[in-house]
Structure formats: structure tokens, C-alpha cells
Structure 1
């Protein structure tokens, strides 16, 4: 009986090899189809030639620096100044996954993250349970790709006055508009080229005014960016901060920040009086109201302008003026004065007129009887009479209020303090130092933890 040769024929081996190749191709195709859509988040050069593959992250952080912290030719990849104290720690917290210790006794012992500010997600805990018996430690979860960049813009105030030093007479209004255009342009580029990316928007000082205006447009669906793409927004010293005390003119704020409208941003930390020095946004943050936080340090008059900040209120509008604006500015102020007088309380008008007549008569008599006493009499009119206060109630203009406040010793000291705080910016620079919660976290630390939790919750 002939024993059959058990070795496969060449044709059989070839057939099997072809089958293996075909199977491998099918598996590769299925695996490719099953991969996460990370590749879809990479930019399409034809869509946005200014977006490179490295620019697309799971989370894109757009940081808008404050006045003088950046310029229109700054390196986009380097976040400067105050906001660097948020973006740096955020990148570290989100891109460094927690790991297991070398010896695992139980799943519970493996849940400690590498930094205390990063809570462990449910997915991470599940991974820990599955790998607790493994002899090789592995990360609890894949890290998140975070891309931080600044939004370069002119970032200047002072108009022609600052232009003497900088060579660029741009006003605050023009600078802010330049920043908003730059932020909208970059956000649109990234949103189009990176369809899976989510956004975090940060702003400080003038940059907070820019970032806040952008978030307001997105939240009210007036932007090309869909609100669902925005995970969080944080504003430090926003010049357009919404008031968080029912009476913005109150000398003392209510104990806890209060939302006066449902679309207002959420203030974190000690409450302050007043509102932003540039006035508030009419439409608030829209549907993003609960995703936008705001911080205003005590005595930072840039975000807490109130009735006690009369001199600052008079100074800030001048930062928007150019020589070409002066005729219109003077005309508008004249019309404002006429409207205020026409709508004033008749009793206030009568009292102001009586005060003016009385004091002018006094000066006329002093000038005719004893000219040497005229300077003293004039000082009495300015500092000891109620004439200027009576007129101020009728005029009702911040410029005149600022002038009158300087004639009262107690208000003079207060105004000098307010102006010094505004110009020296001590409180304005304190956001990495002053605590905003019971745990002692500073404003910048709080933002890092809050954004980290928002990113992890959306993962």
C-alpha cells in the first residue's frame, strides 16, 4: 500500500500564502477603518494652508495676551506673560498620563495620578482594574494632545500719546478690534482644518476683553465657530466684566459674586464692586455662560470700575482718541452736557444756579474790595463750598465728577490710590498670587484644575 505524501504541494503552499496575504490585507483594512478618527483632525492643506499637522490637537488652547505682552509679529508658538502660567501647567497635566507604581497590590493603590490636580477618570479606573495583575506597569489612559498658542496682535493703549514711544499711534479701541479679528481668523482656520479639536480660550487684561468678545459672539451664535466646540473660557481682569454686585456703585460688594443675568459669565474668587472699565457686553456669553469664568482681583480698577473710580473713568475714554477724533469728541461731550442738563431734576438745577450766583457774587466783592484776598476766596469756593458738587449733580459726567472729587481731601486720597493702582497695575498683576478658593488655589491654579476637569469629562 502506497503511503501518501503528507507534505503540501507547491500549489497548495502558494494558495495558502495567497490566502494569508489576502487575510492580512482584510485585517489591515478593518483595523484602519476601526482606528480613532485622529487622522481626520489633521489639517487639509487645501482648506487652511496656515495650519500644520502639529497645530491640531485634541484640545487647542488659544491664549490672548494683555497689553504690551505681545505684538502682531510675535511667535505664535510661545505663550507670554500671565497666561503662560496657565498653559504650561495645563499641558503638563493633560499630556502626562498617570502611571502605576512598580508593585501593584490592588487596583486602589494604582489610582494616584502623577499630579494632585488631575483626577482619575472612570475609564482610567477600569484600565487599572484590568491591568492590576500585570507585571509591567502601563499608563492608566492615553494622554491628551494639547496644543497651546498665543494670538499675536498689536496689544497697545494710549493712542498718539503711546505712539510717541512706540511709533504706533493705535488706540485701545483699534487695538482691541485688531485682536478680535486675529482671534476669529485663527479659530476659524483651526476649526476648519481640525474638525475633531475642541477649544479652550484664555484672555488676560486687554486680551480678556478680546477673548470675552469672541466667546460672546460664539455663545450667541454670531460666529463661524459652533458653541459645542468650546470646552471652556477663562478671563483674567476682563475690562468688560459683568457686575457681580446688584448695585455696581456700592462701596462694599455683596459677600458672594451674584449673576445678575442668566447669560453673564461666572465670577470666581473674592467679590468686588463695579464692572469692567470698558462697559459690559449687551448679550453676555449666551449659551456659553456656564463655560466662561472670570476673575477680578480686589482693587484692580480695570475690571472693577465703580463710582469710587471717577478719575479712572475719565482717563480711559481718552485712550481711544486720535487727533482726528478730538472735534467729534468735543461735540459729543457738548451734546451730552446739554442732554444731561435738560433732563436734570429741576430742584437740582435751581440749587446749582443759586450756588453759582452766591459764590460768583462773593468773588466779585472780594476782587473789588480787597484784591489780595481773591486767591483765598477762590480756594474757599473750590474746597469749602458745595458749588461744584451742586453743579456736578446737574452735569452728571464722569470727567466733571473726577474734577470735583479732587477738591475733597478724603476723595482725593481715594482717587490717587485708584489711579496709582490703575497705572502701576499691582493688583492687575496679582492673578498668579492671590487665592480664590478655600483650598488656597490662586486664579491661575484654579483655571488649570478647572480646565483639566472639563477636558477629562469630555474625553
Structure 2
């Protein structure tokens, strides 16, 4: 009797293992057969969508064809900066992209708007640090970016959008893109087709495969994803984890650049949040994170730096955007 029970258990274990093996094989087959996403690169535009029937045929004369919304990284902006002539940090990484777009296109073709916000990150392990907390800085940047998008969309119903950001700015731009793509953002779900593209450099909520990862792309995740399980353990620094719903309907138009070894976007899973927070607060100024305007740590297959790639990509989108009629 005991021998029969043992044989029965052994058979049950074998069946369970066989079932698991079958499921794994089926998953691998599915992964190998499913079509890959379109290859990333400058000039890749949004998927074809149908224009809503209630959209007007023309918009006011002062509306640009495209609004290019730029969100600088930590320590590269200020709350009082001029969005059309940002001078808070002349060495801001995003200026290398936005200034070229301004030189290439007239304001009627694209309005280049650099979101002014605190752009700070208080180090919780340094009691003498009097900067704004990451939560406050990020919240202000998000509010101001959303307000600009909503105001523009209400006044200019045919204007298209290009969103881009670096570091903390990439988190903000990515969060807004995720909200729009999931139908909860400043641009209504019915008008998602107006978003031409989203470009992120060193996104702190990056998930490999969750968007077009511009190669070379490392296997790590964004710092906020790596620390997401610890939530708000450290006051003022909310580690939000992965974006709910990812980028939704904007996934096909979102591109992410991350240099291997940049802890902001290429982090391993951590077990000690206090040590990790301290490292990440300093990582915003580490050699890898600060060198995206060069090809030392990241360069595209064609030899471009991250800023060169972003400029070429956004320029193609703006150049190919529709020319709406004006009243």
C-alpha cells in the first residue's frame, strides 16, 4: 500500500513537471514567433491613426504646427527659468537638442518649450543639503508640463506634440506619456494620435522592452523600478516602481536611451534602500550619467551621441508633421 502511494506521488510529480515544461516550451515558441517591433531610429513616426470626426479643420493663427516639450534633468533648470530662452544651466544636456531645433525650424513650425521647474534632488543622507526634495521637484515639473500641454491643446486642437526629457526630466516626460497613452493625461485619449513621439534619455523608471530601446541597451532597470518595493521608505523620495500600464497606446512612439552602467536607468535589484538612495543621489552626477552628449559611454549604431540621436529623431518628426490650416 505504501509503495503504491509513493508511485502515485511520483507520477503526480512527473505530470506536474511535464505540464510546466509544456507551458515553458509554448511560451518560448510564442516569443520566438511573434513579430518584432519596428526598428528604432531617427525618422520613425507614429502609427497610422484615424482623425476624430469632431476635430476642426483649422486652428488659430498663433498656433504652432508642433509643440516640442523639453524637460531638463536634475540641476539643469529652475522654477523661474525662461521656457523660451532657458539660462538656468547653460550646460544643460537638453539644450544641445532644443537649441538646434530652434535654429532649424521657425516658431510657426515648432514651438520649443523648455519646462521651468526646481530640478533638484535632496540627498537624505546629508543633513546640510537644503535642496527641494525629489518628490517636490518632480511634482512641480509634472504640474507645469501638464498645464502647458493642456492649455496648448485647448487653444490649438490641431497641434502635434514631441515630448523629450533627460534624467529627472525623462521620468516626468515618461510619466506624462504613460498617462496620455493610458487615457488619463492632459491630452484626451481621442487625440493620442497628435503625439508624434516621446524621447527619453536616462529614464529612472525604465523597463527594458517596455518601449523602443535604442541600442546599445543594457539589461538593468530604472532606479525607481529597482527600489519600487521600498516605496516611500525615505521621506521626500517616492520610488514609484514601474509605470501602471506602461506607455499604453504611445508605446510604439516612445524611445529610450540608456548607457550601460548608468545607475539611474541601468540599476540592479537592491536589498539595502538607504545605501542605494545615497548612491542614486550621487549617481545623477556620475561620469556615465553626465556624458550623454559624447560617445564615450553610449553611441548609436551609426556613431551618434544620445543628444545627436535625439536631435535627428525629433527633427525628422517635426519635418514630417502635417501642416494644419490656420484661421
The structure with the largest alpha-carbon Rg is 1
2:67 aligns with 60
2:144 aligns with 182
2:36 aligns with none
User: Which whole-Å deviations, capped at 9, do the CAs of 1:329-349 have from their partners, x for residues lacking one?
Assistant: xxxxxxxxxxxxxxxxxxxxx
Instruction: Please say if 1:449 is aligned against 2:312.
Output: yes
2:263 aligns with 301
1:274 & 1:439 partners in 2: Cα distance? 23
2:177 & 2:313 partners in 1: Cα distance? 17
Instruction: Please say if 1:156 is aligned against 2:120.
Output: yes
Instruction: Please say if 1:438 is aligned against 2:301.
Output: yes
Give the C-alpha shift of residue 452 in structure 1. 2.2
Consecutive unaligned residues in structure 1, runs of 5 or more: 1-36, 43-52, 96-142, 245-258, 319-417
Give the C-alpha shift of residue 74 in structure 1. 1.2
User: Which whole-Å deviations, capped at 9, do the CAs of 1:391-441 have from their partners, x for residues lacking one?
Assistant: xxxxxxxxxxxxxxxxxxxxxxxxxxx779726421111111125323211
- Aligned counterparts, 1:407-426, within 5 A: 422=283, 424-426=285-287
The partner residue of 1:276 within 218, 222, 226 is 222
1:195 & 1:155 partners in 2: Cα distance? 30
Q: Is contact 2:166-2:203 (8 Å) kept?
A: yes
Consecutive unaligned residues in structure 2, runs of 5 or more: 1-56, 226-241, 323-327
- Aligned counterparts, 1:24-39, within 5 A: none
User: Which whole-Å deviations, capped at 9, do the CAs of 1:214-268 have from their partners, x for residues lacking one?
Assistant: 00000111113031221111111011011x2xxxxxxxxxxxxxx2xxxx22111
Q: Is contact 2:76-2:119 (8 Å) kept?
A: yes
* TM-score (norm. length: structure 1): 0.48
* TM-score (norm. length: structure 2): 0.67
The partner residue of 1:221 within 183, 197, 214 is 183
User: Which whole-Å deviations, capped at 9, do the CAs of 1:246-291 have from their partners, x for residues lacking one?
Assistant: xxxxxxxxxxxxx2xxxx2211121212100011213110010011
Q: Which has the higher contact order (CA 8 A, sep 6+)?
A: 2
- Aligned counterparts, 1:201-240, within 5 A: 201-225=163-187, 226-240=191-205
Q: Pick closer, same or farther for the CA change 1:454–1:163 going to 2, 3 Å.
A: farther
Q: Is contact 2:222-2:267 (8 Å) kept?
A: yes
The partner residue of 1:92 within 88, 95, 103 is 103
2:127 & 2:159 partners in 1: Cα distance? 39
